[in-house]
Amino acid sequence: MPLTEVVPTDPGALAPPTGRRTLPYSRQQIDDDDVAAVIAALRSDWLTTGPRVAEFEAAFAQATGAREAVALSSGTAALHATMAALDIGPGDEVIVPPLTFAASANCVVYQGGTPVFADVDPGTLLLDPAAVARKLGPRTRAVVAVDYAGQPCDYQALEDVVAGAGVSIVADACHALGASYRGRPAGTLAMLNAFSLHPVKPITTAEGGVVTTDDSVLAARMRQFRNHGIATDHRERERQGAWTYDMTELGFNYRLSDLQCALGTSQLHKLPGWLERRRVLAARYDALLPAVSGLTLVHRRPDVEHAYHLYVVQCEPERLTGGRDALIAGLRAEGIGATIHYPPVHLHGFYRARFGTAEGLCPVAEAAAGRVVTLPLFPAMDEADVDHVVERLRMVLDRLAA
């Protein structure tokens, strides 16, 4: 059976060898300040649609350098809001890479549009601008650039490809909070930039998402979209002395609560230190893994600062008894919560049935998807944990060597 993504947060979720703690591939980090912030929100007059939402949005905008930040109930909701803000609908095509979570493409389908899959670069596993150029057509309305593992795409190259075509670029920055490209922070790299606040992401609100933009009109539209498409919120009605409202567009209940925003604001204070810790741990992997036979590291572009949401390597499954899945199973037996990111979206059953996608559509992504292994990386780890992962990885690879 193929392995699917597992997010163990319970220390007993895996069975590590005696004397070592379980290392999931990632997990949230919550401290007393976070707990106190949530308790204060619980004791306040507002549990949702209150002042902590605007406070979090302002703090997130400041952290990313964007003019506007719109908080939503999940990263998926954030992506959906970007498609709604751009008026994507039936007959429209949006170019998406296949090596991503399904939400990057699902958001197009939610609006009645058609995702068109463009292949990734074999070194970085990021959306390949040349592949985008080949998929551009008269119905193309947008490109979703996925910052895979926390490394920003080549946005200048993508902008050059779509220049003059009336095509918007949306950054799926769900992995990339704290990253930068050519000195510009993630959150300012595209017209619309979507983030996830899931527990394994750089900061968390338990579930949640944010879209950043410099366009106040698009921000206002997404705020209406997250609140059922109602044209005014309760504050506006109070200022106007009104008690009725009008739903002018079809929207959704995609609001993020004050409890979650209180947690998110508290977490943002710790983001710089956590990012530095992730980079130190990634550098340790970078130093040790080249000596491990049978692995290839994902290439890092010289003009980016990586957020390292994930640390991904590629194995050589043809050299392993049982292939890549046996490697992951062997690591999990050692208490190392390895997993994969991702099964190609166009090969999911829904996309095969709805859009007729199949093997061969994106050969680079398909090959990479059979080789990728995500290793543990989160700020609570230390260098000894990285050393242990590398030691266990080498041992399991040696055992499986065909």
pLDDT bin (cut points 50, 70, 90) of residue 12 is: very low
Q: Do 94 and 116 form a contact (C-beta atoms < 8 A)?
A: yes
Confidence band (pLDDT; 50, 70, 90) for 21? confident
Q: What is the crossing angle of helices 258-288 and 51-64, to 10°?
A: 30
Which residue, chain included where needed, has tokens 């919550």?
30
pLDDT at 141 > cutoff 60: yes
Integer Cα distance of 100 and 121 in angstroms: 13
Q: Are 180 and 305 in contact (CB under 8 A)?
A: yes
The string of pLDDT tens digits covering residues 347-398 is 999 999 999 999 999 999 999 999 999 999 999 999 999 999 999 999 999 9
Active site residue 201: yes
Backbone φ, ψ for residue 181 (5° rounding): -135, 120
Angle in degrees, 0-180, between the axes of helices 323-333 and 383-400, rounded to the nearest 10 = 130
Nearest one of 310, 282, 248 to 386, comparing CA atoms = 282
What is 32-267's CATH number? 3.40.640.10
How close are the terminal C-alpha atoms of the chain, in Å?
21
Rounded mean pLDDT of 266-290?
98
pLDDT single digits (tens) 35-45: 999 999 999 99
Neighbour count for residue 178 (Cβ, 10 Å): 25
Confidence class of residue 16 from pLDDT cuts 50, 70 and 90?
Answer: low
H or E segment to which residue 337 belongs: strand 336-337
User: pLDDT at residue 15 above 80?
Assistant: no
Dist CA 47 CA 38 (whole Å): 10
Cα separation, 353 vs 363, whole angstroms: 19
Q: What is the largest CA-CA distance in the chain?
A: 75
pLDDT in tens, 46-99: 999 999 999 999 999 999 999 999 999 999 999 999 999 999 999 999 999 999
Domain coordinates of the chain in residue numbers?
Answer: 32-267, 270-400
pLDDT mean over 252-257: 98
pLDDT band at 238 (very low <50, low <70, confident <90, very high): low
Asked, as a colleague might, if the bond just before 155 is cis with ω within 30 of 0, I would say no
pLDDT band at 299 (very low <50, low <70, confident <90, very high): very high
Please give the mean pLDDT across all residues of the chain.
Answer: 94
Contact 145, 171 (CB under 8 A): yes
pLDDT at residue 5, rounded to an integer: 38
Residue 2 has pLDDT above 60, yes or no: no
Query: Which residue out of 201, 277, 332, 371 is catalytically annotated?
Result: 201
Beta carbons within 10 angstroms of residue 5's beta carbon: 13
Q: What is the DSSP string of 146-208?
A: E-GGGPPP-HHHHHHHHTTTT-EEEEE-TT-TT-EETTEETTSSSSEEEEE--TTSSS--SS-
Q: Tell me the three state secondary structure of residue 388.
A: helix
User: At residue 326, does pLDDT exceed 70?
Assistant: yes
Q: What are phi and psi of 199, to 5 degrees?
A: -55, -25
Cross-strand partners of 93: 114, 140
User: What whole-number distance in Å separates Cα of residue 32 and Cα of residue 66?
Assistant: 29
Q: Please tell me the predicted confidence (pLDDT) of residue 180.
A: 98
Query: What is the band of 308 on the pLDDT scale with cuts at 50, 70, 90?
Result: very high
Whole-angstrom Cα distance, residue 71 to residue 222? 9
For the beta carbon of residue 8, count every other beta carbon within 10 angstroms.
17
Q: Is the pLDDT of residue 233 over 90?
A: no
User: CA 371, CA 340: separation in Å to the nearest integer?
Assistant: 9
Q: Which of 278, 25, 309 is nearest to 150 (CA)?
A: 309
Mean pLDDT in residue range 269-288? 98
The region, left, alpha or beta by phi > 0 then psi within -120 to 50, assigned to residue 6 is beta
Better-predicted residue by pLDDT, 169 or 246: 169
Q: 19 pLDDT band (50/70/90 cuts)?
A: low
Q: Above 60 in pLDDT, residue 186?
A: yes
Q: What's the pLDDT band for 246 if we cut at 50, 70, 90?
A: confident
Q: Name the architecture of domain 270-400.
A: Alpha-Beta Complex (3.90)
Q: How confident is the model at residue 11 (pLDDT cuts 50, 70, 90)?
A: very low
* Separation of alpha carbons 317 and 340, rounded Å: 13
363 burial via Cβ count (<10 Å: 0-12, 13-18, 19+): exposed
Using alpha carbons only, what angle is made at residue 264 by residues 258 and 266, rounded to the nearest 5 degrees?
Answer: 105
